[in-house]
A and B are shown apart, each in its own frame.
Chain A
Amino acid sequence: MSLIAEIVISFMLIVGGIFGLLGSWGLVKLNDTMRRLHAPTKATTLGVGGVLIASMVYFAVFMERVSFHELLITAFLLITAPITANFVAKAHMHRDVKERDLPPTGGDYGWAGYDEVGDGKQPIDTK
């Protein structure tokens, strides 16, 4: 039992470490800000997830103390990663991307960061 737990913990730790390193390496290697955005938000989230699962198994098997903090941290990181990525993308487009570089929306309005919605035109019904 404890041998299986050891193998699982070591495997998760090594996978987590490799993906964490890959996320940081992608940040250095890729050559465009939008491309760089892909590397850390994905690889690092799974990297930390692997480490946290390993620590959960470790404390449950070897310390006999079931802990849910790791689940909370994993869930928190999974929920906040898309929001952070979206904010960084918006900041980048606000500073460095012109609207003519983007594809057309195909609708009556442009992209939200560039299109000014005038008075009396409220496309989304926010009540």
Chain B
Amino acid sequence: MITFALYFAIACYGIGLLLNLWRIRFAPGVVDRILALDTMVINAIALLNIYGILVGTAVYFEVSLLIAMFGFVSTVAYCRFILRGNIIE
């Protein structure tokens, strides 16, 4: 039962990543691309965790923690670049 649920969740997040890619390709503005990239980071975290359950190791949690931090910082840096023209003043 768990294996079925795991594959179902992997399929959901995989389709989600493809939808995000579609949004990045056909976005009306740069802000939408940032939003889609941020969503991609969150989907990737979920995918990593599901894969961690599937293979039964805990190594992937550290990876996803790091990706969560990098994703947050990069989204803020992108937005700051649009708002102010540079990142560190």
Interface residues of A (CB under 8 A from B): 6-7, 9-11, 13-14, 16-18, 20-21, 23-25, 27-28, 33, 36-37, 40, 44-45, 47-48, 51-52, 54-55, 58-59, 63, 65, 67, 69-70, 72-73, 76-77, 80, 83-84, 87-88, 90-92, 94-96
User: Contacts of B8 on A, CB cut-off 8 Å?
Assistant: 13-14, 17
Interface size on B, residues (CB 8 A): 52
User: What DSSP secondary structure best describes chain B's contact surface?
Assistant: helix
The answer on a CB contact under 8 Å between B83 and A24 is no
- CB of A96, distance to nearest CB on chain B (Å): 7
Q: B29 and A95: CB pair below 8 A?
A: yes
Taking a contact as CB atoms under 8 Å apart, the answer to whether B61 and A73 are in contact is yes
